[in-house]
Amino acid sequence: MIISLNHYLVLAALLFSIGVAGVLTRRNAIIIFASIELMMNAVNLAFVAFARHWGDVGGQIFVFFIIAVAAAEVAVGLAIIVVLFRHRETVNIDKVNLLKW
């Protein structure tokens, strides 16, 4: 069986949908953070699939930059979550409201 572009795109859409469902239904900041990373990886898969299909490295270059941005996001995002946990002693999004005193 030959794996075509459609197979990759269906898998990317499935991963992206799981990520969206995780962001919309979960209230734990770490799970939401992981769901956002899953959505970014789904987009990376689509970029690589299109790059392979068209024989162009442009999509792979985009993936390289997305991974670099994701690494910075992980560092900053986890630091924010740690500070949030130290300040509020919870990572539940419903119980965290930093705009109210």
CATH classification code of 5-95:
1.10.287.3510
pTM: 0.84
pLDDT at 99 over 70: no
- Of 30 and 12, the one with more pLDDT: 12
- Of 65 and 85, the one with more pLDDT: 65
State percent of the chain over pLDDT 70.
96
Instruction: Provide the 10 A C-beta neighbour count for residue 4.
Output: 11
Task: Count the residues in the chain.
Answer: 101
**Distance separating alpha carbons of residues 91 and 83, to the nearest angstrom:** 10
End-to-end CA distance of the chain: 60
At 61-75, the pLDDT tens digits run 989 999 999 999 889
Written as one string, the DSSP assignment of 8-76 is HHHHHHHHHHHHHHHHHH--BHHHHHHHHHHHHHHHHHHHHHHHHHHT-SHHHHHHHHHHHHHHHHHHH
